[in-house]
Structures are given as structure tokens and as C-alpha cells.
């Protein structure tokens, strides 16, 4: 692929990336450490369950002094990737790079959750698809649940709300009957930090750029996302290795160790710089335990040009089309 179609700075890491798509695994992993921060209220729950936020009871930290149980808010892996897939598919749809599938006369354009994946677009080939009797592609974007650094009790609240009629009251303007539509939502407070690792396996430079774009451009997560759920994603590091690195929970626990007071308490909201510094230190600690070749860690001044060059690609529609075309053509040769 021409280096002009992807961030030029990625060229120096070419030997750590796949040169082309292949059906067979080659053990080339790229892990993106992402700090997700709510910029408004957000709700992360199982849709239609009628339940509150998704929470898990886990151990607070890795250090012995922090070996106590802690209830944390969880953003499920599906809630994260679903948003980012839709973000990417918007770009593919804009450039007519979602293809038709199905029997002649009943063809349908590739769409999520319709049992009609095309198996040819970047989304299908990168995030995976399956269709009964019609082939499958395992996702090469591996994710896990993301956990809040702080305890759920510190970063959640409740709202009671009602549904008023057109006249602005709780009484039906036609019958005069009082409404019973009073509900309560549990929500995540603004400026709550979650930690996530997206692990990409055997991806090309073009595919890596696609995922970076999806992460950077996705801004609303969770329920009722048309009104709440604003979130900012920050890629804190990019790690090249020949094995999958540590888990989201382990990273969260190691960061907690560095931010918590001696008695295991956190003062929230957390400062962005403090979280970033703790993620850097925790990453170095956990990578020391990784059974693999020496990982290549890209962050700070080395990472910023890649992120800036990715942004520059999206500034020019013609450049976006050329880059997406090049990635898509790579699948036809498989």
C-alpha cells in the first residue's frame, strides 16, 4: 500500500504490521490503550432489561494494601465496538464501500444485525461476520469490558423524571387524568474515567488507521445516546507485540494502586494528567510480566504524529476514498 494513503509515521513500524490480509494468523498484535472519559451523564446497561447500570464486584487493586472488594461500573465490550463499527460504516457508506449480498433479485446492502453481511467490506473483514452456511470471518479486533477506575458509589447518581403532556403538566389535557409515568434512571457522572484495550491482530497499516479513526470519531456511548452519553476517547499508547498483552481489569487495578490514597480511597473526579501518568507507569509494570518478544511501546511524542496524520487523512475526502479503496482491494486478492 502506498505510504501516502496512511500516516507516514507508521512506515517505521512496517515490520510489525501485516503487509496484506491473510487467512492465516501471524501473531502480529497491536494493542491500543484507550482512556475513555465521560463528558456528560451516561447510562451503560443491558438494553430492555429494566435494570440499572452494569456493575461488577472485583478487587480494587493489585497491591496488597488494596486487596479489598470494590464495585465498579462496566461498559460492556459490545457497547464499545458496536458504536465504533457504526462510526466506521458511516464512512464506508458515504464512499459506496458497503456491498450487496444475497440471491439475485433479493440482494441487500451490507448492514449490521440483518444476517446479510457482504463479506467484502472493511468492516466485515476487520470486525468479523457470520452467516449461516455462507461463510464467516473471525474478528481481528479483540475487546473486553471496560471498568471505571473509581468505585461505582463515587461515580454514579440517580435522576427521577416524568413524562409530561403537550400542555407541560402531568395531567392528560383530554381526560384530566393524572399521569403515572414517573421513572428513575441511574447514570454515570461526568468526568468518569474508564480504561480499555483494543487488541488488533494481523492488521495492515490501512486497517490500523481505520480503527484509530473509529475510536477518535466515536463520541456517544450507552443508552439514550441522542441526549446523553458524550464521551472522549484518548489513545494513550500503541503497543506492538507477538502476544496479547494484559487485560483491561488488570490495567485498571494497577492504575488504581497509583492513584488511591494509603487507605484505598480515591478523590474524584480524577485529573486527566494524573490518569495518563498512572496509565504510563502501570503499562510499564505490566509489560514486564508479558511472555513475548520485547514489546514496542509508542506513546507521547512518538504517538502524536500518527494521531495527527490520521486526523489529516479525514480532512480530505479524496484522500479518505483513496485510502479506503486501497484497503478494500487488498481483500480481493486473498
Nearest one of 23, 129, 27 to 81, comparing CA atoms: 129
Higher-pLDDT residue of 281 and 50 is 281
Q: Give me the mean pLDDT over the 90-109 stretch.
A: 88
Residue 245 has a pLDDT of 97
Q: Is the confidence at residue 215, as pLDDT, over 60?
A: yes
Q: Give the span between the Cα atoms of 218 and 216, in whole angstroms.
A: 6
Helix, strand, or coil (residue 198): strand
Other CB atoms within 10 Å distance of the CB of residue 90: 12
Name residue, grid cell 494481523. Answer: 202
Other CB atoms within 10 Å distance of the CB of residue 126: 26
User: How many structural domains comprise the chain?
Assistant: 1
Q: What are phi and psi of 100, to 5 degrees?
A: -85, 150
Nearest one of 179, 159, 216 to 43, comparing CA atoms: 159
Name residue, grid cell 393524572. Answer: 178
Q: Quick: pLDDT tens for 251-278.
A: 999 999 999 998 889 999 999 999 999 9
Q: What is the pTM of this model?
A: 0.90
Q: Give me the mean pLDDT over the 172-201 stretch.
A: 81
Confidence of residue 51 (pLDDT cuts 50, 70, 90): low
- In terms of DSSP H, where are the helices of 58-151? 77-94, 122-127
Nearest one of 146, 164, 172 to 42, comparing CA atoms: 146
- Backbone angle region of 65, left / alpha / beta, with phi > 0 → left and psi within -120 to 50 → alpha: alpha
Q: Quick: pLDDT tens for 119-158.
A: 899 999 999 988 765 678 899 999 999 999 999 999 999 8
Q: Quick: pLDDT tens for 294-326.
A: 999 999 999 999 999 999 999 998 999 999 999
Confidence of residue 3 (pLDDT cuts 50, 70, 90): very low
Nearest one of 275, 278, 268 to 152, comparing CA atoms: 268
* Domain housing 34: 3-332
Distance of CA 88 to the CA centre of its chain: 12
Q: Are 231 and 38 in contact (CB under 8 A)?
A: yes
Cell triple for 31 = 494493542
- Count how many Cα atoms sit within 13 Å of the Cα of residue 268 in the half-sphere of its side chain: 21
Amino acid at each position: 500500500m502506498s505510504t501516502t494513503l496512511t500516516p507516514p509515521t507508521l512506515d517505521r513500524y512496517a515490520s510489525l504490521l501485516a503487509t496484506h490480509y491473510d487467512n492465516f494468523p501471524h501473531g502480529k498484535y497491536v494493542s491500543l490503550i484507550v482512556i475513555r472519559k465521560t463528558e456528560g451523564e451516561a447510562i451503560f446497561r443491558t438494553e430492555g432489561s429494566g435494570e440499572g447500570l452494569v456493575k461488577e464486584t472485583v478487587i480494587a487493586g493489585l497491591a496488597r494494601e488494596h486487596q479489598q472488594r470494590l464495585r465498579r461500573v462496566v461498559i460492556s465490550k459490545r457497547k464499545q465496538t458496536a458504536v465504533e463499527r457504526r462510526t466506521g460504516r458511516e464512512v464506508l457508506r458515504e464512499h459506496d464501500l458497503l456491498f450487496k449480498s444475497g440471491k439475485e433479485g433479493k440482494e441487500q446492502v451490507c448492514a449490521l444485525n440483518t444476517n446479510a453481511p457482504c463479506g467484502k467490506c472493511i468492516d466485515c473483514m476487520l470486525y468479523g461476520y457470520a452467516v449461516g452456511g455462507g461463510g464467516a470471518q473471525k474478528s481481528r479486533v479483540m475487546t473486553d469490558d471496560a471498568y471505571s477506575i473509581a468505585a461505582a458509589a463515587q461515580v454514579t447518581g440517580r435522576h427521577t423524571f416524568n413524562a409530561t403532556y403537550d400542555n407541560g403538566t402531568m395531567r392528560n389535557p383530554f381526560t384530566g387524568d393524572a399521569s403515572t409515568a414517573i421513572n428513575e434512571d441511574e447514570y454515570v457522572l461526568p468526568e468518569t474515567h474508564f480504561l480499555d484495550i483494543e487488541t488488533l491482530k494481523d492488521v495492515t497499516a490501512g486497517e490500523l488507521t481505520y480503527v484509530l479513526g473509529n475510536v477518535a470519531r466515536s463520541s456517544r456511548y450507552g443508552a439514550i445516546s441522542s441526549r446523553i452519553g458524550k464521551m472522549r476517547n484518548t489513545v494513550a499508547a500503541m503497543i506492538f507485540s507477538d502476544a496479547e498483552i494484559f487485560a483491561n481489569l488488570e490495567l485498571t487495578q494497577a492504575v488504581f494502586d497509583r492513584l488511591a490514597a494509603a487507605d484505598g480511597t480515591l478523590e474524584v473526579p480524577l485529573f486527566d494528567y494524573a490518569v495518563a501518568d498512572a496509565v504510563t507507569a502501570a503499562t510499564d509494570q505490566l509489560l514486564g510480566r508479558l511472555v513475548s518478544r520485547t514489546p514496542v511501546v509508542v506513546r507521547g511524542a512518538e504517538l502524536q504524529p500518527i494521531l495527527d496524520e490520521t486526523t489529516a487523512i479525514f480532512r480530505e475526502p479524496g484522500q479518505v476514498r483513496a485510502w479506503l479503496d486501497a484497503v478494500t482491494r487488498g481483500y480481493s486478492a486473498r
